[in-house]
Amino acid sequence: MTIELAEAERFLLHEARLLDEARFEDWLALFTADAWYWVPIAPDQDNPHDTVSLIYDDRRLLETRVRRLANPSMHAQTPPARASRLVANVTAEDSAADALVTRSKLLMVEYRRNAQRLFAATCRHRLVARGSGLAIAWKRVDLVNCDAELEGIVLPF
């Protein structure tokens, strides 16, 4: 069963909506049981193991990250941030049986405590068929300013 680009795009928009609505548990449920989520610190970074990353979560750490996002003692989200994500330019990078790697553009405006930040990124998702829908096997987010001096990043991209 091949994954159609139109279906993948609908899925990415759904993912962005879950994040905008701070439904992080539902977002986590989009990932496969051995997924990883990666925000490199350098353009063209080739792996997350020999160089640090703004975020590199294997499935176990991703679960912990999402659990923390619901913790009332998380000072970094008191008050919480809100964000608005725009997903566009979705193309297919690579496809195989039951899998599709998409490349998309993300613009995310994050608001917290009277300040807005703008993030721009190229995202790659490896999407796999699961049941009647799709799941994320891995997600890589390359921020335009990945190597800049940045304040703390708490909301997922």
Partner 1 sequence: MITSAELRARIGQGRVHRSLYNDPEIFALELERIFARAWIYVGHESQVPEPGDFCQTRIGLKPMLMVRQADRSIRVLHNQCAHRGAMVVAADEGHAQEFRCCYHGWTYGTDGRLKSAPLLNGYPGAFDPADPRVSMNEARSASYRGFVFATLAPDGPSLEDFLGPMTKSFDDMVDRAPDGAIEVAGGVFKHAYEGNWKLYLENLCDAAHPIFVHQSSIEAARAQSDNVPSDGAGEIAIRQMRQNGAPYSFWETQVGIWTYGNGHSYLGDYHDDAKLVAALEDPDFRDYIAALEAKHGSARTKEILDVRRWNSNVYPNLSFMSQFQQLRVVHPLSPTRTVVYTYNFRLKGAPPSFFRRTIAFANTVNGTGSLVLTDDLETYNRIRMGLSSAGAEWLQIGRGYATDEANEDGGRRGKNSTSEIYIRNMFDAWLGYMTAVP
Contact residues toward partner 1 (CB under 8 A) are 33-34, 36, 39, 41-42, 45, 48-65, 67-68, 71, 73-76, 78, 147-154
Decide whether 8 or 142 has the Cβ nearer to partner 1.
142
Decide whether 69 or 134 has the Cβ nearer to partner 1.
69
Decide whether 31 or 90 has the Cβ nearer to partner 1.
31
Place of tokens 């721009």: 120
Number of neighbouring beta carbons within 10 Å of residue 83: 20
Cα separation, 54 vs 145, in Å, equals 11
Bond prior to 80 in cis (omega within 30° of 0): no
Q: Least CB distance from residue 27 to partner 1, whole Å?
A: 16
Cα separation, 119 vs 110, in Å, equals 8
Sheet holding 115-130, edge to edge: 53-58, 31-40, 133-143, 115-130, 99-112, 82-96
Q: Least CB distance from residue 152 to partner 1, whole Å?
A: 4
Decide whether 73 or 89 has the Cβ nearer to partner 1.
73
Q: Least CB distance from residue 117 to partner 1, whole Å?
A: 12
Residue 79 burial by CB count (10 A; 0-12/13-18/19+): exposed, middle or buried? exposed
Q: Least CB distance from residue 12 to partner 1, whole Å?
A: 21
Amino acid in the structure at residue 45: Q
Decide whether 66 or 90 has the Cβ nearer to partner 1.
66
Q: Least CB distance from residue 140 to partner 1, whole Å?
A: 14
